[in-house]
Structures are given as structure tokens and as C-alpha cells.
Structure 1
Amino acid sequence: MKAIILFGHGARDVRWREPFDRLTGLWREQHSSTPVELAFLEMMQPTLDEAFASLASRGATQITVIPVFFGQGGHLRNDFPVLLAACREKYPQIALSATPAVGEDLAVLQSIVDFGARAL
């Protein structure tokens, strides 16, 4: 079974996660046959390992991690690969892949331009 993890930074203010919860809800509405979990780098739960455990317990055999970051900063270049390696080691039976940061996708950038144009 294929599954995805939406991976964000995390923040002290619990309200910061509200868009991530909405994003997860949209995924579930539009792709109900593919499980999704949220995970955060720091300050929020669940962690990447906890999200993996949840999906593994539900029978996931392929997990794609989508970093919901604007760009490939230090966390994605340094911390993220270490976390992925730990998950690969702990869950060798699961095929793991990761996408680039969503903010590097032209369609995402264009959506932001369109948002700005609508705000004028």
C-alpha cells in the first residue's frame, strides 16, 4: 500500500499547524485510498518516526515523504537525510522516497503569484 507523509518544520504556537491539518484533510477528501500522515521536524507531534510507525502499522509498503517547506534550507539538507536514514534502517520492509521541498515546484510558486494577483 502506498502512503504519504507531509513533513513540516513545527512551531511553538499550536495554531501554526492549522494549514497543515487543512492540507491533510484536503488530501484525505481527494485521495481517500492513499493514507496520509503529518510529521514535524521539531516542537510538534508526530515526529517522522511516529508517522512512519502509524503508516507501517496500517500496512504501508511504500511511503513518500513530502517536505512542506518553501526551500531546501539547512534542515532539509542536513537534518532531513539523517531522519530518513533512521527510518530506512528501522523500517527496511518499506520503500521510502522523498520529494524536493514543495516551494521549489513551479506550480506552487505560480499559485503564490496567482494569490498575490488576486489580492491586488
Structure 2
Amino acid sequence: MRGIVLLAHGSRDERWREPIEAVAARVLQDDPAAHVVCAYMELATPDLHSAASGLIADGATAIRVVPLFLGMGKHAREDLPLQLDALRKAWPQVVFSLARIVGEEPELVELLARISAKS
């Protein structure tokens, strides 16, 4: 089974989670068999390790981490590679892959441009 972790920055404000959880809900709407969870770098739970642990307990043998960041900041550039290395050491039998940060995806750039240009 393949799991998906939607990884975002995190916030103490509970409302901040709503758009992240909406993405997870949309993934499930498009594929009801998907195994998708949200995780946060800081200020919210679960963290990446806990999210991966839950997916693995449910039978995941591969996990794709999708960073929901607009830019290549410190978390994506420095913290995330270290966390992935730790996951790979903790679960060497699981294949962990890292998607590009969403802000680098041409589809998102196009969408943001269209939204920005609305009158």
C-alpha cells in the first residue's frame, strides 16, 4: 500500500489547517482508496514521523511526502531532507519519496496567476 503525507508548515491557529485538510479531502474524493494524511513541520500535530508511523502501521510500504510550501525555504531545503533520512533509517523496508514543493509545480503557478489576475 502507498501512503501520501501532505506536509505543511503548521500554525497554532486551528483554522490554518482547513486548506491543508481540504487538499486531503480532495485526494480522497478523487481516489477513495487513497491513504492520505496531513502532517506539520511545527506548531501543530501530527509531525512527519508520527504521520508516517500511522501509515506504516496501516500497512504502507511506500510513502510519498508532498511539501505544501510555496517556496524553497529552510524547512524544505534543510529540515525536510534530515527528517526523510531519519524516516529511512527508522523504516528501511519502506520506500520514502519526496515530491517537489508545490510552489515549484507549473500547474500551481498557473493557478495562482489566474487567481491573481481576477478582477
User: TM-score, normalization: structure 1?
Assistant: 0.95
Partner of 1:117: 117
Partner of 1:8: 8
Number of aligned residues: 119
Compute the displacement of 1:117 (Å): 2.6
Structure 1 segments of 4 or more deviating over 3 A?
none
Letter of the 1:3 counterpart: G
- How do residues 41-120 of structure 1 correspond to structure 2 at under 5 angstroms? 41-118=41-118, 120=119
Compute the displacement of 1:100 (Å): 1.3
8 Å Cα contact 1:10-1:17 kept in structure 2: yes
- Give CA-to-partner distance per residue, 1:67-87, whole Å, 9 cap, x none: 000011111111111111111
User: TM-score, normalization: structure 2?
Assistant: 0.96
Alpha-carbon separation, structure 1, partners of 2:96 and 2:102 = 18
Report SS of the residue matched to 1:66.
Answer: strand
Cα RMSD for the two superposed structures: 0.9
- Give CA-to-partner distance per residue, 1:42-91, whole Å, 9 cap, x none: 01000101100110011111110000000111111111111111111111
Alpha-carbon separation, structure 1, partners of 2:93 and 2:32 = 23
Alpha-carbon separation, structure 1, partners of 2:41 and 2:11 = 9
